[in-house]
Amino acid sequence: MSLLTTVMEHSLDDGYAEAARARGAEGSSRLPTTAKGRLVLALGLALAAVVVTVGAVNTHAAAPVLAKERDALVTRVKDAGAAADALQRQVEEDRDRVERAQDAALQAGDDGGAALLAATTGTGEMTGPGVKLVIDDASGSGSGGNVSDPRNSGAHGKNGRVKDHDLQYAVNGLWLAGAEGVSVNGQRLTALSAIRAAGDAILVDNRPLVPPYTVLAIGDGPRLAQAFQDNEGGRYLKIIQDSYGIRSTLSTQKSLTLPAAVGVTLRVAGPEASPEASPEPPAGPGPSSSPSGSASGSPGATRSGAPSKSAGPSAKSTSTGTGAATP
């Protein structure tokens, strides 16, 4: 018991106690006491203060430069966007003027064939009943793992976001259902249109789109909606809605207007102008008549009265309402 009592009463070794008493006698301050030590300490503190001050000054001086560069970049982006919008408006205005000139040129004897052809091909505006399909990203994570996944090949990014091939399936389903014209977020689709991805953005004819994606299709509204829901496009939207929560709504519309496609020009065939025959010198004192009754000096007849070879084909073709030559 005496050993335990001694350990409890004198837990600190005598050597530690003597070292503590010696340190206390010297003083508890760790600062240098000599003049040289104090001078070194002062120089070190001054050097640290200079380094901190220079770093702060450089950071403060660089901040306005970075802010100016960022503002300049933002301004350039906005100016480029405004210039692109202005060019887009100019293209639309020029297209309207061209259409008015075409209508004025084809007004005489036109049966509306050119306008119908332009609307069908996408180069002209189209109005009529149809359906409205709105596709949007998922509001949360999708559920339904027991559903077959049609996007397992080549899928990328977050599963809850609409991909370019999702819009492709939907648009092809509308065409298959009998749509006469289709547009996506105001971009008219033609036979030359492309729906593709650039990173996370979806491009239609190189124009970036943002969700929700509104797809308008002109046709017999109820019949078009039912046919779309029954074909592959409608079933595909149902699968990705169950699998990923991607939302889609389909509704019939009494009247829709699809704009004309930008950058596409409708070209039609027309009769080639016949070159005029070179004038012939008079053969006698009076004009000689050909067997067919036409004067030899007329553009469409030769001296012997036979029609010229260049005038033959143009005489057999007439101009239709669309400007195409028909035999």
Question: CA angle, 231 as apex, 230 and 236 as ends, to 5°?
Answer: 100
Tell me what pLDDT residue 239 has: 93
Tell me what pLDDT residue 65 has: 77
Residue 289 lies in a domain: no
Using DSSP, state whether 253 is helix, strand or coil.
strand
Residue 210 lies in a domain: yes
Sheet holding 187-188, edge to edge: 187-188, 181-184, 213-218, 126-136, 247-258
Give the span between the Cα atoms of 56 and 62, in whole angstroms.
Answer: 10
pLDDT tens for each residue of 268-286: 656 666 666 455 554 544 4
Tell me what pLDDT residue 301 has: 37
Residue 165 lies in a domain: yes
Residue 68 lies in a domain: no
Residue 242 lies in a domain: yes
Residue 42 lies in a domain: no
Distances (CA, A) of 37 to 32, 46, 216: 5, 14, 84
Q: Which two tokens stand for residue 210?
A: 């943002």
Boundaries of domain holding 222 = 113-258
Residue 254 lies in a domain: yes
Which residues in the chain come in under a pLDDT of 70?
A: 1, 10-13, 23-30, 105-114, 140-158, 264-327
Report DSSP letters for 184-230, one per residue.
Answer: ETTEE--TT--EEEETTEEEETTEEE-SSEEEEEES-HHHHHHHHHH
Residue 229 lies in a domain: yes
**What domain count does the chain have?**
1
CATH number, domain with residue 161: 3.30.70.1880
Tell me what pLDDT residue 1 has: 63
Tell me what pLDDT residue 142 has: 40
Q: Which two tokens stand for residue 294?
A: 């036409």
pLDDT tens for each residue of 252-262: 999 999 988 87
